[in-house]
Amino acid sequence: MAALFRRSTVLPFLLLLPLLLFSVSPLACGKLINDGGEGGEEGEQFAEELLLKPLPDRKVLAHFHFESTTPPSADNGRHHHLFPKAIAQLVRKFQIKELELSFTQGRWNYESWGGSDSLSSTNAKPPGVELWALFNLPVKEIDATWKNVTHALSGLFCASVNFLESSTSYSAPGFAFRSNVSNIRYGALPREAVCTENLTPWLKILPCRDKAGLASLMDRPSIYKGYYHSQRLRLTSSELYGIILEQTLTVVLQPNSKRNAAHSSLDVSIQPSWSISSMFNKKVAGSCVLAKASRILIELEKDIISKLEKMGHGDSWSNSVFDLFPSPVRVIKDFNSLPGESNSILYEYVNHNEYEALDVGIKWKIPFVWSSPHAPFHVSRFLMGSGNERGSIAISLQSTKLDEELVHKSQGCTMQVVIFQVVPWYVKVYYHTLQIFVDGRLQNSSDMIEKMQVTPSEDKMLPGTLELMLKYPCSVQSVILTLDFDKGFLHIDEYPPDANQGFDIPSALVTFPNFHSSRKYVKDEFSTDSPLLRKFQEKNVVLSYTEVLLVPLTTPDFSMPYNVITFTCTVLALYFGSLLNVLRRRVGEEERLLKSKDAAKRGLIPLLFSKLSSKIKGQNPESSNSSSLLGSKFLIIIVVLLAFLWHYFLN
Amino acid sequence: MAGIRGYWILAAAAIAFRFLLFVCFPKDLHLGSRPEVATPLTSLRRLAEGYWLKQASMSPYSGSMYHGSPLLLSLLGPLTKRVEGRPPHFYCSLVFVIVDFVAAILIRATGKKLMFSRYKSLQVLDLLKPVDASGVVDSGDFASLVYLWNPLSIVTCMGSSTSPIDNLVVIMAIYGACSRISSLAAFGWVFATHLSLYPAILIVPIILLLGYGLDAPPSKLFLLKNSSAVSFGASSENKVKSGASRPTGNSIQNFSWTRVLHFMLWSFVWMCYVLFLCSISLKELGGLSEMFKKTYGFILTVEDLSPNIGVLWYFFAEVFVFFRNFFLIVFHVNILFMILPLAIRLKHRPCFLAFVYIAISSMLKSYPSVGDSALYLGLLALFSNELADMQFSFFLFCGYIGVSLLSPVMHNLWIWRGTGNANFYFATGLAYACLQSVLVVESVSSMLKHDRTLTKMVEA
């Protein structure tokens, strides 16, 4: 009875339950939708952008920029919608404040591709792998954490970043690399080969991978065919903004000029016309649906614009010099320059249409020559001397003469240059030999050096670090620094398999703290919306990396360790044996012995026999003999005992 | 007994020759970077780097560059600065010339003392006429000239390396012990040990020298002589007279402990003094523990594998890592191992014993240079009368010349031209080690033979 009663009370409730659920679900769904839509402002975001830029030497720069952000971790725990979980875990586990990892192949050509705009000062990287990280940890924990980070990154990107674990390959820069903080570590692997196996895991971090959106343009053969290829990952984490992950891929490609060979055959100097499809063999097939923004921008440098203005074309995208196709949605102008000067212009295309493929391109009509903005000094580094014993490193700064007007304007101006150079320990630099030549004349180095910090290298422990701040008048045309070094000799196991190729000295970093690259755009929603434009508006110090140096080191003969060991030991034994023999010898006694032997004249076999028999009997035929026998027995016993003890203690 | 005629002219010529080399080749010689001349321990370039680091208020030992003494840094460091219009290391080279001259003078004084004691003891044994029948060389003058005119020591003096100073303190220790000045012997010994560690084994000959006096034929001979004199029935008056007048009679019996104790005391004082000076100069720059690690530790663990005229660099560049410690022990024990047998056998000739020790350690040391050879070749000449009938001396002479000519050629082929191979250079190192061992063995055996002939003469 009771059970029945109970059932009757439960039943209406059960009937009501679906109703209840239905009434709640619209609310829940609404909330979910809100999370997806409005959460765009608050929650995790992803944006993709592609910047294309014609370069003066008939090449094209393509700069892919992807940015994922996640709000501070306390808000949404461990779950991520867009943001890659692996990266978030990395940041949280190792307390990373900032981290930058770049894989580069090829060398950025500062002379023709520009050295002072924000694109080159943030995206031009030294060949190989470069990694630096800023930790939010006490100083003594940093080295251990750095090692863990290198291993994590090496697993994440299929690269030998873990070679940066050894203390000989990374350094703790002082003032010359970024600000003067103690919790930063910097390491570079100039020899690292960069290829698709590094790109694939890098793409895996993107929400759409390379299946949709701009990343789908990354056709491997066309990307790796280029002159310069640099994939970069930059992490910034803060309490306020959460984690910002910025992934960029910068490639410099040679557009395929065969297509327009027909009508440009008359003039070879005409720039090659190109489009996305001609460069990447693909068209943009719509945006990544998870991306908040997906844009393609074409940038024309300020030299082009000023020349166009002189020709009376202004900022039109279709003129007698070139045609941009299709027509851009918007023209964005830079406002950050002196009056009377032209600025670079960005033409924006929005990539939202999924059905109509976007194929942005430029068609040049007449020959047109321009130049890129240079850094104030062109930096290069080279080796001097011959032979495998010693040499010198020279860093030369040559004025690019672009700032002549600047020099004229301020006659008393001074130029500041900061040089940051890491040298592996087997290149033993004599820092007291630092010489500075200004315009070819030897200068007293204390007049030029404003600040200097040296961490000398320790054999097999630490690389040497040189941080130098130079100050000299702007009118100086060339500055050359030289440092002598001795080449080290390594143990046979420390040479890499291709020892005769030589060893690489990582690029030196030269920064010009007085010069900044930044642009100003009109503050509207679009310019603040775009992460790439936001990046361009940041104030960056102009910097350039020097070449990687290849130092050939002398090699020992790898094939004959046994010969060396046996020869040396033979010589030693020869010395030891003969000296001991000389000391032990008593010529007088020997002569006496010889006489007595002559007297006895016993054969060898009977002598042995008698000795043996006496041994068996336990009798001693001669007293002197017995003592020596006893002594030798005693010695043998001692040796056996020692060996036994040794064995016992070892186990 | 008369000295070599024109000694002072020859010595002055040697010094003048050094100055001449300075003037004629101020920069072209590049001897300072030759591996034969400058080792990581003695290179003046490294000293300049250490001085620079110290001036920049860093530890001079940071950077694995400098491995010498902090005292040298304070003494020579200010002289390494570049001076306009002067060749690099000009003042240092001047200092080294003076140091070489002083060392030569001390060798000469030591040789004079040795000659005197030899004369005395031979007189006692009545062997003066038969032994010196073939003529005698003034070994002091001769050794001093050998040291001054030895091309190896000229090269060491010219090429900027601090080994002339190391040699000077070693010679000072020997001179102090020979002239029985405990304080000087202790000073030389402590500083030599401080500068290059290996002279530490010289404590045995120094104590013997201070205790027993200078080199003499074995004490047995004097006893034999005395007993024979008794048996021949010499007058008691005469015997007493001779016993009083003969200094050798004393040297047989008493080992003068007071001098040895003085030496010990003085060495303790000097040691404290050196450590005190070092700790002052390294205050707030690493301290003494770092100094020991970077000087003695560097010597004992053979960290620097750059080529030199020894054999250990190539050995340790090639040997398997897990055998490294074993062989380090073996090579260093090899030096220590011979101390006792040699001391037992040559205890009556402590000065010669010192020479043998120096030769052995310069053969087996981790960073040998020609400066060490210059030292022991100079000392070898002190015993030119005793070792007159040494075997293989012509072979050794040719060998030294051959190696010193071939070694730079092989080094050039390997390092500069890239046509040779490390094995060629190593082979010259091996040959050099062989030559040195033959020299040591032969000199010891001929010294023993010399003693034997004396015994035979006395017995006869």
- Are the Cβ atoms of A430 and B448 closer than 8 angstroms? no
Instruction: State the residue range of the domain holding A504.
Output: 377-551
Instruction: Flag if A579 and B444 touch (Cβ within 8 Å).
Output: yes
Contact state of A489 with B62 under an 8 Å Cβ cutoff: no
Does A490 score more than 70 pLDDT?
A: yes
A53 assigned to some structural domain = yes
Closest Cα in chain A to B335: A576
* pLDDT-wise least confident of A25-34, A250-259, A583-592, B246-255: A25-34
Asked if the Cβ–Cβ distance from A491 to B317 is below 8 Å, we say: yes
**Residue B385: inside a domain, yes or no?**
yes
What's the N-to-C CA distance of chain B in angstroms? 26
Q: Are residues A577 and A531 in the same domain?
A: no
Residue B240 resides in a domain: no
Pairs of residues, one from chain A and one from chain B, whose beta carbons lie less than 8 Å apart: 137
The alpha-carbon gap from B86 to the nearest alpha carbon of chain A, in Å, equals 16
Residue A16 predicted with pLDDT over 70: no
Other C-beta atoms lying within 10 Å of the C-beta of residue A203: 20
Q: Give residues 297 to 336 of B whose Cβ lies within 8 Å of A.
A: 303-307, 311-321, 331, 334
pLDDT at A5: 42
Q: Is residue A452 part of a domain?
A: yes
Task: Name the strand (E) or helix (H) holding A51.
Answer: strand A45-54
User: Which residues share a beta bridge with A465?
Assistant: A422, A455
The number of distinct structural domains making up chain A is 3
CB-based contact B53 A456, cutoff 8 Å: yes
Quick check: is B90 in a domain? yes
Q: Which residues contact A71 (CB under 8 A, 6 or more apart)?
A: A42, A43, A44, A241, A242
On the 0-12 / 13-18 / 19+ scale of CB atoms within 10 A, A11 is exposed
Note whether A442 and A572 are same-domain residues.
no
Domain check: are A543 and A573 in the same one?
no
pLDDT digits (tens, 9 = 90+) for A20-59: 444 444 433 333 333 333 344 467 889 999 999 999 888 9
Closest by Cβ to A454, choosing from B56, B415, B449: B56
Structure confidence at residue A308 (pLDDT): 84
pLDDT of A407: 52
Nearest CA in chain A to B54: A432
A382 and A518 belong to one structural domain: yes
Of B33, B64, B307, the CB nearest to A390: B33
What pLDDT shows up at residue A102? 94
Model confidence, pTM: 0.84
Do B64 and A457 contact (CB within 8 A), yes or no? yes
Give yes or no: residues A580 and A546 share one domain.
no
Q: How far is CA B158 from CA A464, A478, B50, B223, B247, in A?
A: 31, 37, 21, 50, 44
Which residue bears the tokens 């004490």?
A: B219
In the prediction, which pLDDT does A584 show?
85
The nearest alpha carbon in chain B to A566 belongs to B315
Which residues of chain B are under the pLDDT cut of 50? 1, 233-251
Q: State whether B422 and A554 contact (CB < 8 Å).
A: yes
Q: Do A458 and B64 touch (CB under 8 A)?
A: yes
Interval B121-177: pLDDT, tens: 888 888 777 777 667 788 889 999 999 999 999 999 888 789 999 999 999 999 999
Q: Do B422 and A587 touch (CB under 8 A)?
A: no
Q: Both A63 and A196 in a single domain?
A: yes
Q: Does B198 reach chain A within 8 Å, measured CB to CB? A: no
Whether pLDDT at A481 is above 90: yes
- Nearest-by-Cβ selection for A571 from B33, B51, B430: B430
Q: What is the mean pLDDT of residues A500-516?
A: 90
ipTM of the predicted structure? 0.90
Asked if residue A543 and residue A574 are part of one domain, the reply reads no
Asked if residue A65 has pLDDT above 60, the reply is: yes
Interface test with A, best of B432, B437, B443, B455 (most A CBs within 10 A): B437
Residues of A in contact with B303 (CB under 8 A): 459-460
pLDDT at A98: 92
| A135 shares its domain with A50 | yes
| pLDDT tens, residue by residue, A525-552 | 666 678 888 888 888 888 899 999 999 8
Q: Which residues of B touch A574 (CB under 8 A)?
A: 434, 437
- B63 close to A457: Cβ distance less than 8 angstroms: yes
For residue B306, give both structure tokens: 């750059």
Q: What is the pLDDT of residues A123-139, one digit of tens each?
A: 899 999 999 999 988 88
Q: Is A51 domain-assigned?
A: yes
Q: Where are the beta strands (DSSP E) in A258-329?
A: 274-275, 293-300, 322-325
Cβ–Cβ of B415/A387 closer than 8 Å? yes
Is B444 part of the contact surface with chain A (CB cutoff 8 Å)?
yes
Cβ distance B64 to A425 less than 8 Å, yes or no, reads: yes
Q: Are B210 and B263 a contacting pair, CB within 8 Å? A: yes
User: Can you tell me the mean pLDDT for A7-20?
Assistant: 46
Q: Which residues of A touch B421 (CB under 8 A)?
A: 557
Whether B440 contacts chain A with CB within 8 A:
yes
- A475 and A564 in a single domain? The answer is no
Note the pLDDT of residue A8. Answer: 45
Q: Which residues of A touch B410 (CB under 8 A)?
A: none
Mean pLDDT of A235-241: 87
Choosing among B34, B314, B335, which should be mutated to test the A contact, i.e. which has the most A CBs within 10 A? B314
Residues A253 and A156 in one domain: yes
Q: What is the pLDDT of residues A327-377, one digit of tens each?
A: 888 888 877 665 556 677 888 888 776 667 788 888 888 888 888 888 888
User: Looking at the domain assignment, is residue B264 inside a domain?
Assistant: yes
Counting the structural domains of chain B, the total is 1
Same domain, A119 and A255: yes
Domain range for B27: 7-227+254-298+305-459
Contact B342 A583 (CB under 8 A): yes
* pLDDT tier at A597, thresholds 50, 70, 90: confident
Residue in A457, A556, A584 nearest the CB of B64 = A457
Does B234 reside within a domain? no
| Distance from C-alpha of B372 to C-alpha of B339, rounded to nearest angstrom | 19
Does the beta carbon of B445 lie under 8 angstroms from any beta carbon of chain A? Answer: yes
Q: Is residue B236 part of a domain?
A: no
Cβ atoms of residues B394 and B384 within 8 Å:
no
Residues of chain A with Cβ-Cβ distance to B418 below 8 Å are 388
State how beta strands A414-423 and A390-399 pair.
unpaired
Of A554, A568, A584, the CB nearest to B415: A554
Nearest to A328 by CA among A372, A298, A293, A369: A298
Interface of B with A in 7-36 (CB under 8 A): 33
Closest residue by Cα to residue A113 from A273, A252, A239: A252
What CATH number is associated with residue A405?
Answer: 2.60.40.740
pLDDT, residue B274, reads 94
A interface mutation test: which of B298, B305, B446 has the most A CBs within 10 A? B305
In chain B, residues 355-394 whose CB comes closer than 8 Å to chain A: 363-364
Residues A565, A532 within the same domain: no
